[in-house]
Amino acid sequence: MKRFFLALVFCFGIVVGFAQDEKSAIEFTNEGNDALRAKDYAKALQLYDQALGKWGDAPKDTALVYHMAVCAYQIKNFDRAITLFDEAVKLNYKKETAMLYKANSYKSLKKDEEYVKTLEEALAMSPDDSKLKGMLAKVYLIDANVFFTSGAKILKEAAADVAANKYKTTDEPYKQAEQKAKGEFKQALPIIEKALVYEPENATAKQLKAACEQYVKG
């Protein structure tokens, strides 16, 4: 009797495995969609991969590719996400959103040049997209602020030396510090201009530009 029961279990396992093999691409896709809705991204991606394994030579489901990319992004598999978002763009499916995800994938990988390049490519696709313009403006403002902060620090340290009676503002060390600070502010200005190209009314960019110009002309 025990052997008979084990044989039944063994046969049941074969049937279940066979049933899994017999699932169609659509069935795997639907199960993947359910997992995606449940925010089980790893499971969803696994099911979508199984769906693709059953796809054959038929054209890929564009939504499937995009959903796979989103899942890869959510589980922080950014390299694969980038590849899949590229494919979604080529398939002309939600390409604006796909480009944003792709850009953020590069950002997560700390690949700053690729991040900016992707944002610029996305803006070329959607030249009136204010979100993209804002993201690019922010990139350049961060870069400009590095130079501005450096210049401000130089002046602050020089002022502290003057307060400590190490030298006067008319002395050569202070004048050298001023020139060095001005060099930093000058480097910031063209970068701020790039930010203003994307967001002409950006208040932070305007304030930063005014401060740099004041120091440079002062």
- DSSP per-residue codes, the chain: -HHHHHHHHHHHHHHHHHHHHT--HHHHHHHHHHHHHTT-HHHHHHHHHHHHHTTTTSPPPHHHHHHHHHHHHHTT-HHHHHHHHHHHHHTTSSHHHHHHHHHHHHHHTT-HHHHHHHHHHHHHHSTT-HHHHHHHHHHHHHHHHHHHHHHHHHHHHHHHHHHTTS--TTSHHHHHHHHHHHHHHHHHHHHHHHHHHH-TT-HHHHHHHHHHHHHHH-
Q: What is the pLDDT of residue 24?
A: 86
Residues 123 and 149 in one domain: no
Q: What is the pLDDT of residue 6?
A: 42
Q: What is the pLDDT of residue 111?
A: 96
Instruction: Tell me, yes or no, whether 16 lies in a domain.
Output: no
d(CA 79, CA 41): 16
Range of the domain at 158: 131-217
The residue from 127, 155, 190 where one domain ends is: 127
Q: What is the pLDDT of residue 21?
A: 58
CA 169 to each of CA 138, 164, 214, 217: distance values in angstroms, whole numbers, following the listed order: 36, 12, 18, 17
Residues 60 and 75 in one domain: yes
Mean pLDDT of 16-41: 82
Q: What is the pLDDT of residue 11?
A: 43
Q: What is the pLDDT of residue 16?
A: 46
Q: With 60 as the cut, is the pLDDT of residue 10 above it?
A: no
Give the chain's domain count.
2
Q: What is the pLDDT of residue 17?
A: 47
Residues 106 and 56 in one domain: yes
Q: With 80 as the cut, is the pLDDT of residue 7 above it?
A: no
pLDDT digits (tens, 9 = 90+) for 89-100: 999 999 999 999
Residues 56 and 110 in one domain: yes
Q: pTM for this structure?
A: 0.79
Residue partners of 4: CB distance under 8 A and separation at least 6: none
**Nearest in space to 53 (alpha carbons), one of 77, 20, 86:** 20
One-letter amino acid at 162 equals: V
Mean residue pLDDT across the chain: 89
Instruction: Tell me, yes or no, whether 123 lies in a domain.
Output: yes
**Nearest in space to 49 (alpha carbons), one of 80, 18, 6, 7:** 80
* Contact (CB, 8 A) for 188 and 150: no
Q: With 90 as the cut, is the pLDDT of residue 129 above it?
A: yes
Q: With 50 as the cut, is the pLDDT of residue 137 above it?
A: yes
Instruction: Tell me, yes or no, whether 2 lies in a domain.
Output: no
Q: What is the pLDDT of residue 217?
A: 85
Q: With 90 as the cut, is the pLDDT of residue 172 above it?
A: yes
The residue from 110, 127, 144 where one domain ends is: 127
**Percent with pLDDT over 70 in the chain:** 90
Q: With 80 as the cut, is the pLDDT of residue 79 above it?
A: yes
Q: With 60 as the cut, is the pLDDT of residue 156 above it?
A: yes
CATH of the domain at 116: 1.25.40.10
d(CA 42, CA 207): 45
The residue from 93, 127, 161 where one domain ends is: 127
Residue partners of 198: CB distance under 8 A and separation at least 6: 133, 134, 136, 137, 140
Q: What is the pLDDT of residue 15?
A: 44
Q: What is the pLDDT of residue 18?
A: 43
* Contact (CB, 8 A) for 102 and 76: no
Q: With 90 as the cut, is the pLDDT of residue 53 above it?
A: no
